[in-house]
Amino acid sequence: MRPRSFALWIAIAIAVAPPAAAQTQAVSPVVDEEILEFRVALTHQPASEALSLIRPMLTARGSVELHAETNMLVLHDTHSSLAVIEPLLRNFDHPRLTLRIEIQIVQASSGVAGAAATGDPGLPAELRQRLRGLLRYENFQLLGRTLFTAREGEQVAYQIGDFGVSFRLGTLVEAKRIKFDGLRVVREPGRPNEKMLIHSNLNPWLDKTTVLGLANDESSGRALMIVLTCGKER
């Protein structure tokens, strides 16, 4: 059965992110600490993608400039702040990794209308159980699935059943999060009734399962789910 049109998005991370205390925090500067300059030319990764990593780490007196032609960043800030940022940049500028990505498209339903989908052999039992524990839906039917590898910086496009999925794979940050830049999910791409379902950026955690759910409203008896899992290629 072809899923109905949907309008409301709900995003759910199945696995909990690392506690806030474990995340890197900017160092509070000494009030009169001298402002220094730090220049770094990145070798492997786009310097532009490091900006979102660096800016939260700067003090109120700090700044960062991007020199795209040389893939260089020029930072001005206190010694305390730069001492935190420098190792982050070294970690960020790693040789491009190959990641393993699985995308599953699932139709969820509640009540007897979707009873036949409950035992769908194509959907892993563990995932079905976890979805039931988080969502009010009882029945889950696998509409399409793909498993592939892609390198950081690579443009990805796949046809999964009646759905087209495309994005640019960003840079792995602190070995924890990866960016799906310009993530697009389209139903029946290239056909007269083509419909854009998602057009956004996503930053899923590595080795965690992320679910994007779409339904008409909170009381809808049916929803469409995009299930994403990403990990390093062994």
Q: What is the mean pLDDT of each run of 10 residues along the chain (234 residues)?
A: 44 47 48 87 94 93 96 96 94 94 92 51 80 82 94 95 96 89 94 92 93 82 91 86
CA gap 77, 81 in Å, rounded: 6
Long-range contact pairs involving 72-77 (C-beta distance under 8 Å, separation at least 24): 72/39, 72/40, 72/41, 72/42, 72/47, 73/39, 73/40, 73/42, 73/47, 74/37, 74/38, 74/39, 75/37, 75/38, 75/39, 75/40, 76/35, 76/36, 76/37, 76/38, 77/29, 77/35, 77/36, 77/38
Q: What is the pLDDT of residue 121?
A: 65
Q: What is the pLDDT of residue 112?
A: 55
Closest residue by Cα to residue 101 from 25, 192, 169: 169
User: pLDDT tens digit string along 133-168?
Assistant: 777 788 899 999 999 999 999 999 999 999 999 999
Domain with CATH 3.30.1370.120 in the chain: 34-92
User: Sign of torsion, CA 37 40 45 46?
Assistant: positive
Q: What is the pLDDT of residue 146?
A: 95
Q: What is the pLDDT of residue 28?
A: 52
- CATH no., domain 34-92: 3.30.1370.120
Query: What pTM was estimated for this model as a whole?
Result: 0.77
